[in-house]
Amino acid sequence: MLIGKVVGSVVSTRKCDSLVGNKFMIIEPLDEMKKSGARLVAVDKIGAGIGEVVLVSTGSAARVGTGMSDAPVDAAIVGIIDEGIGLE
Amino acid sequence: MLIGKVVGSVVSTRKCDSLVGNKFMIIEPLDEMKKSGARLVAVDKIGAGIGEVVLVSTGSAARVGTGMSDAPVDAAIVGIIDEGIGLE
Amino acid sequence: MLIGKVVGSVVSTRKCDSLVGNKFMIIEPLDEMKKSGARLVAVDKIGAGIGEVVLVSTGSAARVGTGMSDAPVDAAIVGIIDEGIGLE
Amino acid sequence: MLIGKVVGSVVSTRKCDSLVGNKFMIIEPLDEMKKSGARLVAVDKIGAGIGEVVLVSTGSAARVGTGMSDAPVDAAIVGIIDEGIGLE
Amino acid sequence: MLIGKVVGSVVSTRKCDSLVGNKFMIIEPLDEMKKSGARLVAVDKIGAGIGEVVLVSTGSAARVGTGMSDAPVDAAIVGIIDEGIGLE
C-alpha cells in the first residue's frame, strides 16, 4: 500500500456500468512513497475529502478486497491515516 | 487508474482469437500520472476517439472488470473524463 | 519479493472492515532492491519490530498467500531475514 | 499492453514442466513505451519472428488470457502490429 | 519474464508457514532488463546455483504457475538459461 494526499477528483459520465456510483479521487503519493513521481486515480471506499492523507491499495487488492470484483478498479482508498511513526 | 489522452491506435491482423473485435488505442498518460514517461496500449471499452481524455485501468482489473476474463488484456479505457479538480 | 527495513508504522481508525486488526508498517527497501526510491506500507503477518530487516511480498501474493483473500492488502511482511549472502 | 520489437530469443533446457514447448522471445519496447529502458522476455503465442513489431500483454493477462493458467508466464506476444496511428 | 544472475541467497527462520522449505535467492537482472536498477528475491523452483543465469517470473505467475497458489510468493526462478540470441 502507499500513503498519499487526496488532491482532487474527476467526473466521468460515460464509463463502464460497473463503475457507476463510485467517486474517483486523485492521489498525490507522499514524496518518499512515490514511484517516478506519478499521481494516480483511486476509487474512494471510505469517504475521504480533499486534503486528507489516506492509505491506498493497488492492483487486484483494490478490486477483490473491496467487494468490487467485477469492476475495472485498480486502486482504492482503503483507510484514512490518523498518525504515523516514520513518515518523513 | 490513470488519466491520459488517446493519441493513436494500432491494427493487428494476426492476434490471439480472444482479442478479435477489439480496438487498440495508444494512450499518453497526463504528465503528472506518467511513470517513466511510458505510453501504453489499451483496449477501448467505451468508444473513445483520438484526442479524448480517458480513464484507464490496468492489470487484472482491465480484463476481469470488463467482461474479458479470458482475453490477454492488461489495460482498458473504462471512462471518458468530463471534468476534474486537481488535474494540473 | 524484496528485502527492506521496518522504519515506522501508521494508524488508521477509519478503514475498510476487512483491514481491522492488522498492523501497517512502513518499509524502506534496501538500496539495491528499491525501485525509484519508494517506501511502501505492508501488513505485518510475522510480528516484526521497527529496525528489523524483513522479506516483503507484493501484489496478489500478499493477499491470497497470507489468508487475507478478501482484504485490500497489496504488500505483506512474510519473513524476518536472519542472514544473507549477496546483500550489499 | 505495450508494443515492442522482437530482438532475440533464449533457450532454457532446465525449466518448469509447464513451460515446455514454449518459445521465449526477447522484446525491446518502443522508446515511447519503455519503462526505465527495460527489455523483457515474452512467450510467443503467435509465431513472431525476430525483427517483427508485436503487441505484448503482461501480468496475469499473459497467463490466464492465453490458456496457460497453470504456467509461470508473466508476458506474452499476443499480436503482430500491421500499422498504427500515433506511433512515433 | 526477466533474465538475471543469481548473486546470493537469504535465510529467514521466522516466516509464513506456507514458505517453509523454499530457497530464497537474490537475483541481479541483466542490465538491459533491470527496472530502476532493482534486485529482487525469488523462490528457486529449479535448483539454480549462485552465478547461474536464470529466467524469473514475477507476479501471480510466480505463485499460481508454480503450484504455490497459497504461498506469498511474487517471484520465482522458473528456468536456467542455456543460450540466447539478442542478449547484450
Q: Which CATH number goes with the domain that contains B29? A: 2.40.50.220
Does residue B74 carry a pLDDT above 90?
yes
Q: Does any domain span residue D52? A: yes
Does residue C37 carry a pLDDT above 60?
no
**Range in A6-10, B35-39, C42-46, E81-85 with the lowest mean pLDDT:** B35-39
Q: Does any domain span residue C48? A: yes
Q: Which residues of C touch E48 (CB under 8 A)?
A: none
- CB-nearest to C33 from E19, E38, E68 is E38
Work out the burial of residue D40: count CB atoms within 10 Å of its CB; fewer than 13 is exposed, 13-18 middle, 19 or more buried: buried
Q: Does any domain span residue B62? A: yes
Does residue D4 carry a pLDDT above 90?
yes
CA C58, CA E22: separation in Å to the nearest integer?
17
Does residue C70 carry a pLDDT above 70?
yes
Cβ pairs C/E, distance under 8 A: 111
State the pLDDT at residue D33: 85
Q: Which residues of E touch D66 (CB under 8 A)?
A: none
Per-residue pLDDT of A10-33, as tens digits, reads 999 999 999 999 999 999 999 888
State the pLDDT at residue B37: 56
Q: Report residue B88's pLDDT band, with 50, 70 and 90 as the boundaries.
A: low
C39 → chain A, closest CA residue: A33
Q: Report residue C85's pLDDT band, with 50, 70 and 90 as the boundaries.
A: confident
A38 → chain B, closest CA residue: B33
Per-residue pLDDT of E2-24, as tens digits, reads 999 999 999 999 999 999 999 99
What stretches of chain D show up as alpha helix (H) in DSSP? 60-64
Chain D: residues touching E (Cβ < 8 Å): 7-16, 18-19, 24, 26, 35-43, 50, 59-60, 62-63, 68-75
Q: Which subunits have 3 or more CB–CB pairs within 8 Å of chain C?
A: A, E
Of the candidates C57, C88, C60, the one whose C-alpha atom is nearest the C-alpha of residue C72 is C60
D63 → chain B, closest CA residue: B72
CB-based contact E80 D8, cutoff 8 Å: no
Does residue C69 carry a pLDDT above 60?
yes
* Cell (9 digits) for D19: 513451460
Per-residue pLDDT of D22-73, as tens digits, reads 999 999 999 888 765 589 999 998 999 999 999 999 999 999 999 999 999 9
E46 → chain D, closest CA residue: D15
Q: Report residue C88's pLDDT band, with 50, 70 and 90 as the boundaries.
A: low
Per-residue pLDDT of C8-26, as tens digits, reads 999 999 999 999 999 999 9
Place of cell 492492483: A59
CB-based contact A73 B1, cutoff 8 Å: yes
Q: Which residues of C touch E63 (CB under 8 A)?
A: 60-61, 64-65
Does residue D78 carry a pLDDT above 90?
yes
Q: Report residue B24's pLDDT band, with 50, 70 and 90 as the boundaries.
A: very high
The mean pLDDT value for E40-46 works out to 94
Q: Does any domain span residue C72? A: yes
C86 → chain E, closest CA residue: E8
Q: Give the number of domains in chain E.
A: 1
Alpha carbon of C82: minimum distance to chain E alpha carbons (Å): 5
Q: Which of D20, D26, D43 to mutate to test the interface with E (most CBs of E within 10 A)?
A: D26
Q: Are E33 and E14 in contact (CB under 8 A)?
A: no
Q: Does any domain span residue C86? A: no
The mean pLDDT value for E26-46 works out to 86
Q: What is the ipTM of this complex?
A: 0.93
Rounded to whole angstroms, what are the CA distances from B15 to C31, D72, E49? 41, 21, 38
Average pLDDT of every residue of chain B? 92
State the pLDDT at residue B27: 95
**What kind and span of H or E run contains D6?**
strand D2-11
Does residue D18 carry a pLDDT above 70?
yes
Does residue E36 carry a pLDDT above 70?
no
User: By residue range, what is the domain housing residue B49?
Assistant: 2-80
State the pLDDT at residue C32: 84
The mean pLDDT value for E36-60 works out to 91
State the pLDDT at residue A38: 80
CB-based contact E81 D11, cutoff 8 Å: yes
Q: Does any domain span residue D85? A: no
Of the candidates B47, A86, B39, A10, the one whose C-alpha atom is nearest the C-alpha of residue A75 is A10
State the pLDDT at residue E37: 56
The mean pLDDT value for B29-48 works out to 86
CB-based contact B1 A42, cutoff 8 Å: yes
Q: Which residues of E touch D19 (CB under 8 A)?
A: 78-79
Chain E: residues touching D (Cβ < 8 Å): 1-3, 29, 32-36, 45-47, 55, 57-62, 64-66, 76, 78-87
